[in-house]
Chain A
Amino acid sequence: MSSTAQDVSGLPDSEKPLLTGNQTFASITATISGIVERKTPPIWYLALGAALSLLMVLFGSIGWLVYEGTGIWGLNNPVGWGWAIINFVWWVGIGHAGTLISAILFLLRQRWRTSINRFAEAMTLFAVSCALIFPAIHVGRVWVVYWTFPVPNQMGMWPNFRSPLLWDVFAVSTYFTASLLFWYTGLIPDLATFRDRAKTKIKKFVFGILSVGWRGGNRQWKHYELAYLILAGISTPLVLSVHSVVSTDFAVSILPGWHTTIFPPYFVAGAIFSGFAMVVTLTIIARKIFGLENMITVNHLEKMNKIILLTGSMVGYAYGMEFFIAWYSGNIYEQFTFINRAFGQYGWAYWIMVSYNVLVPQLFWFKKLRTSVPVMFVASLFINVGMWFERFVIVVSSLAQDFLPANWDYYSPTIWDVATFVGSFGLFFTLFLLFIRFLPMISMAEVKTVLPEADPHYVAPGTKGGHHE
């Protein structure tokens, strides 16, 4: 490995170094720990203040909801689910990227993941936290929502295991638990670094507890890496299962536009799509603010954009296939539902969905565009919005106009639907801001493994020197 200034532009993608700026073990530790150890920047307080305000909006909306009833939302008789379920599916979808990056890409030996996995995993946890709020509060009697758990009781009443909502309860809570464990396990070596660098007693104590006695010994590393591998193995099917199960909320029903077998893969693709879009959005902001351009390089972002292009096209394929099947089935209800989606009362939402989710990612066919930070930032925002509208289209348009035209109605949200959704960003950003202030937002231990020093091996004379194989 040469240690001169790198000119990587001529290299093929696979040859590009993952980190730029002549990083060493020490520089990595310094850069990442520095973010936390530096004096808190005023902008952080400002941001936290804004996030906490939104969080209060969330609490206020939920309080009013519990006091007054689900009627404060715009729901009506045909449309029994509205923004709450849309938000749930959207947040769960966003929560997909983290575990995918840390688990699946880990198993696939995608070493570029190391710069973004901590960040993405945190995002996953926070997004799933936001998601979990919605199914809990959307029920009519919030105070008995625990009946969905198989709690032994004197009546011998068990939940209905045939209901996809119950599957949801298990799938999402399992996913959350596994993601949390995975994230925490990954944090342990970095927490130990923090402990070692801590200057105050409290920090020493807290990080000491959190790092569970990590000393970086060989044996510890051996066990640690095995544990991490096992957790990755456990998490991998969960990545695929959780959104598949969420999709069964719809697919198991008999409603035209919901009752379709394409939903599990389509939802998983959509979830990864939206998850990566959110990671791109947040990463671009963070690397800019904290000057992490050398840790999270354009190369990283480009790789994520390629996944966005792939999954976005899968989603587009699913949109098309739904139409084909509706026509091919000969089922008049299906046919109506899909024509109605595109040209009916919610047609505007459908075209937002198609243009944002299918057309926007096509920009990433062009290298110039997929390596341009402003372009990808804007595109990722569009995709986030588009994916929200995908769920809106699925949930609302099918419900509003189903089998009997006499029941058809129009659903529009109230201020409380909006406030609850906006408020959920308050929770998300509050958690996120706390995370980047107090925990290492990039996995120091793992990033170091992509340095050449971490992988010393003999380079035959005459062959191209490389840190990659």
Chain B
Amino acid sequence: MSEMNKKIGKKYWRTIEELGDTPEYRQSVIEEYKRGHEDDENPWSRRSFLTLMGASMALAGLAGCRRPVDKIVPYVDQPEEVVPGVPQYYATTMPQSTGAIGLLVQTREGRPIKIEGNEAHPSSLGSTDALTQASILGLYDPDRSKKTREKGAEKTYDDFVTFWRERAEEFAADKGDGLAVLSEPFSSPTLGRLKQDFLKAYPRATWVAYEPVGDENVGAAIKAVTDDRAAAVYRYERASVILSLDSDFLQSESEAVTAARGFSDGRRMDDLQDEMNRLYVVEPAFTLTGGMADHRLRLPASHVGVFAVALAGELAKRGLSIGTVPSVSSPIPDTGWITALAADLIKAGNNALVVAGRRQPQWVHEIVLLINNALGAVGTTVQYFGHDATDTRVAELANLVDRMNSGAVRTLIMLGGNPVYDAPVDLKFAAALKKIDHTAHLSLYFDETSQAAEWHIPRTHFLEAWGDAVSIDGTKSVIQPMIEPLFGGHADVEMFALLSSGRDQRGHDIVRDTWRSILTTGKFDKAWRRVLHDGLLVGSAAKALPDRRPQPNKTWPKVGATTGSLSATNLEINFYPSHLGDGRYANNPWLQELPDAVSKVAWDNVAVMNPSTAEKLGVRNGDIVRLDVSGNALEIPVWTVPGYADFVLGLPLGYGRRFGGRVADDVGFNTYALRTSSNMYFASGATVTTTGRTYDIANVQDHNRMAGRPIIREASLEEYREEPMFAREMVEHPPLRSIYPDHDYSRGYQWGMTIDLNTCNGCNACVIACQSENNIPVVGKEQVGKGREMAWIRNDRYFAGDADEPQMLHQPVACQQCENAPCEQVCPVAATVHDKEGLNTMNYNRCIGTRYCSNNCPYKVRRFNFFNYVKDMPEVVQMAMNPDVTVRSRGVMEKCTFCIQRINRSKQEAKKEDRTVRDGEFQTACQQACPAKAIQFGNINDPDSRVAKMKEKDRNYALLGELNVRPRSTYLAKLRNPNPEMDG
């Protein structure tokens, strides 16, 4: 992939030494990359030599080309229970801010290779999201930090321990005055215990938690209204009418996995009589949640609060006791929307649910709590759980920075996080850091903050260290390592323990110490093993706090200031976590290559606005503009997406890293540069000036409309009830006949899939799950820009309806496994053929790469290896590959195989037990990850299988079925449930 190298060829530097390229620096590089990185130094490494040899042979004569063979050495001592080729699953937990998601991790010969959700865990229910799926690759990231460093120079961890003991002695005298810790938010009981120990040892020390995107406003509102430290858990499955106020609960809020599951459960239509929830969304940007809306209102973020007040006023007018609602002028011209919505919410009663996004200020959340309470939703659709996680406090961070500047803080220990990159820009964190005597940073990467800190300690990935976590409902679980630390990092618990006790302890012991007080009944070791096996402590969920209802007689929250009307010179900018999260996953190539679910832009973040705003500003897609807001400026390219509120710009966070790693560096634009502590999520008063320059953007979908074609078939609930077969009747075609005889599919397994478009929200979890399961290569921005992305399952995103008020639709498309497959017929070498179980199989060894199959595929789901995309894969990343799936070489076509490796493994298991494969015994990777459970897969020859039943449904239709390709994947048509009282 020399093309890619050329792109990367621009000189980036991490340290001044590197820029100078001194002999000392060269030596340090050689030492750092002693193992497995010869390629960086020697232009004639074994790898490139073999590549050239291979090519020479190909040129010299056509015969005898084989890739080099590596020796495989068997175990000398066979580890117990490890059977080569047989996967093992271990339960663990991925900590997520103040919550956690339970996982089952597939390991192969000691290597974790695939992450699945733990069905028993309340925050997973067996599903995962894209970030979780991608985290397995983060484990094997060769750019992770491998060495403890002091001022950039390599040291050992013992040196740091010595350093800390000196500090400990120093601070023991004055009880920690001048000592501060900046951590990430966490829910871990062990970390909580150690934090308490630390504060006991150093009572005058400061402990601040900060994370750029957190639930601070939600928690503060709950505290203010209920007097409880509690977390709100929303039971979307019980809600019949849902109002989202700037809450992208299906994608970017916390607990999105279970929210998507609950929402889908309430939305799924099993038959005509079934009920389906109704979703109202009020939001500035176009989010996936907005895409699922039955009614969507575009409103600047700063007007959402006023909307909530107006709604509360309307509800109060209709007899709900919400206290004295101040009267506000409605933020929307037509009040019909609010009255109809209020009526619908009241009708739904305790099955109504109002949620506000964490981007909204505290007072909006307080109003929402009052509305939910007044509606009777607390206890049914909203539950509060006691919660004592260490949460983000921006004000405390600001306070800390003040004290750093004033010299009141002399030593700052940063446990995780990357504040130099992501702290609010007005705090000037990096400058404050320089004023401190001693700083230390525990981090996965030698990143922006580590570069600025005195000490850097490499951190372990959660898959290689002990720890524990508590989910939002209080369920406790243990984080157990899947593998020894690959790069010798240090676990959070070990660092915390070192800080609090000065002792260097083993993580395993530290965590067990905590759990001795949790597992008090019966024998500890037995209970401990049970927790490890289950992945959680069964029954540890907290009791919901139904009685602690918000007090309606409390003073009505103070309504915050609104910004008046927006215009071309008073734009509102909105910060969103991108699909890289807040930037910590920026060095994850799977996520970088994953296109944004709405803008469809990969490998970059862009300033998104709607086309009419862009027209008024005189800018077009790809124009670089200068954004100015309250004294800060940023240059960023423009991208248009319909459906944004007018004069609103969406700015995804997490890009523009400087020291994030080889993948992350200089990809996209650092939108934190505009983010201030007073306007963490949105700010108005922004202006745009054109720079006259343009920027190449790799977007994977050029066309946004379905061109009048029956691709995603959709009806309203009412239309569906009148015309249940609408999806099948949408296309008229002549009788479908083939000149080739049919295969006999009457016996054995016949695999098939259905995707329910009514519940799919386009979250892309399936895309990353497939990438992880099937060793799909990453090709880089340039290749994606050329249209050579490799995803086997992709999410097509279309807009429908009015250009200003569009609806968004998503459709996951993988190989449809046609029975009358056009690809099979045209392959000259029979490399893609039908098997007895109806699969359209791909024989990579036989493929010569004519690409005719791809041309003839009406779904264009086949992907071609235009280059040897795995040639430059670092050796450590090769460990993340699934050994059951061939890694494809250049010149070969590849595509979805319905996870045939999983099919075959289950068939083998069934055969050993002399039975047939049971329905649901295994799942395809996409199906397993899907938080909405929109994908069903199984044996369609078995009429009782779930997939066969789905295919029986009236909404079932074959995409492009009129071509007589007879796809085995079919779709269930999408439904919307608009309020008959409303027309928009």
Contacts and interface: CB of A to CB of B under 8 A. Distances in A.
Interface of A: 63, 66-71, 74-81, 138-148, 157-160, 162-166, 169, 249, 252-255, 332-333, 336, 399, 402-410
A405 B58 CA distance: 38
- 6 closest residue pairs by CB, A with B: A140-B849, A140-B891, A71-B866, A76-B787, A80-B851, A406-B796
Interface in B842-856: 846-852, 854-856
A105 B858 CA distance: 43
Interface in B715-755: 740
A269 B796 CA distance: 41
A141 B891 contact: yes
B849 A70 contact: yes
Contact of A165 (B59, B62, B852, B889): B852
B863 interface: yes
Given A404-B709, A405-B707, 11 more contacts: A66-B55, A67-B52, A71-B3, A71-B867, A75-B864, A80-B851, A145-B848, A253-B852, A333-B709, A403-B960, A405-B798
A405 B891 contact: no
Nearest to B860: A407
B850 A139 contact: yes
B828 interface: yes
B330 to A, nearest CB: 38
B849 A163 contact: no
A63 B891 contact: no
A139 B847 CA distance: 10
Nearest to A165: B828
B860 A77 contact: yes
Nearest to A155: B846
Given A140-B849, A165-B852, A253-B822, A78 B2 contact: no
A146 B65 CA distance: 13
Contacts of A138: 850
B329 to A, nearest CB: 42
Which of the listed residues A70, A74, A81, A166 has the most CB atoms from chain B within 10 Å of its own CB? A70
Interface string B1-15: 011000000000000
Contacts of A69: 865-868, 890-891
A10 B58 CA distance: 64
Contacts of B858: 254-255, 402-404
Contact of B789 (A67, A77, A147, A165): A77
A130 B943 CA distance: 56
Interface in B796-855: 796-798, 811, 813, 822, 825-830, 846-852, 854-855
B850 A165 contact: yes
11 contacts: A71-B3, A77-B863, A80-B851, A141-B892, A144-B65, A144-B848, A163-B827, A165-B828, A336-B707, A405-B703, A406-B797
Which of the listed residues A78, A254, A410 has the most CB atoms from chain B within 10 Å of its own CB? A254
A89 B849 CA distance: 19
Contacts of B798: 405-406
B786 interface: yes
Interface in B51-103: 52, 55, 57-59, 62-63, 65
Contacts of A254: 822, 856, 858, 963, 965
Given A144-B62, A253-B826, A68 B867 contact: yes
Interface residues of B, number: 66
B229 to A, nearest CB: 46
B891 A139 contact: yes
Contacts of A165: 826-828, 850, 852
A77 B828 contact: no
Contacts of A164: 826
A404 B787 contact: no
B757 interface: no
A408 B702 contact: yes
Contact of B703 (A79, A144, A406): A406
Contacts of B399: none
B697 interface: no
Nearest to B850: A139
A100 to B, nearest CB: 28
Given A139-B891, A164-B826, A148 B848 contact: yes
A382 B515 CA distance: 84
A240 B502 CA distance: 89
A128 B231 CA distance: 75
Contacts of A75: 851, 864, 866
B849 A139 contact: yes
A80 B787 contact: no
Nearest to B708: A332
Contacts of A406: 701, 703, 794, 796-798, 811, 813
B860 A402 contact: yes
Contact of B709 (A142, A148, A405): A405
Contact of B826 (A77, A252, A404): A252
Contact of A253 (B52, B830, B856, B889): B856
Nearest to B820: A254
A143 B848 CA distance: 9
B852 A80 contact: yes
B787 A142 contact: no
Which of the listed residues A63, A77, A399 has the most CB atoms from chain B within 10 Å of its own CB? A77
B859 interface: yes
Contacts of B893: 140
B62 A143 contact: yes
A336 B860 CA distance: 18
Interface in B503-544: none
Nearest to B960: A403
Given A140-B847, A140-B849, A405-B707, A81 B787 contact: no
B813 A404 contact: yes
B788 interface: yes
Nearest to B57: A143
B2 A68 contact: yes
B55 A67 contact: yes
A71 B851 contact: no
Given A76-B787, A399-B855, A148 B860 contact: no
Given A140-B865, A404-B796, A166 B855 contact: no
A160 B829 contact: yes
Contacts of A66: 55, 58-59
B713 to A, nearest CB: 13
Nearest to A164: B826
A79 B788 CA distance: 10
A78 B822 CA distance: 15
A142 B58 contact: yes
A409 B702 contact: yes
Nearest to B790: A77
Contacts of A403: 709, 858-859, 960, 963
Contacts of A140: 847-851, 864-866, 890-893
Interface string B661-687: 000000000000000000000000000
Contacts of B825: 160, 162-163, 252
Given A140-B890, A410-B702, A78 B58 contact: no
B238 to A, nearest CB: 35
B199 interface: no
A79 B852 CA distance: 10
Given A139-B850, A399-B855, A71 B55 contact: no
A71 B777 CA distance: 15
Which of the listed residues B783, B828, B889, B960 has the most CB atoms from chain A within 10 Å of its own CB? B828
Nearest to B963: A254
A173 to B, nearest CB: 13
A81 B708 CA distance: 27
Nearest to B3: A71
A163 B828 contact: yes
Nearest to B702: A408
Contacts of A141: 847-849, 889-892
B787 A78 contact: yes
B706 interface: yes
Contacts of B347: none
Contacts of B829: 147-148, 157, 159-160
A61 B851 CA distance: 20
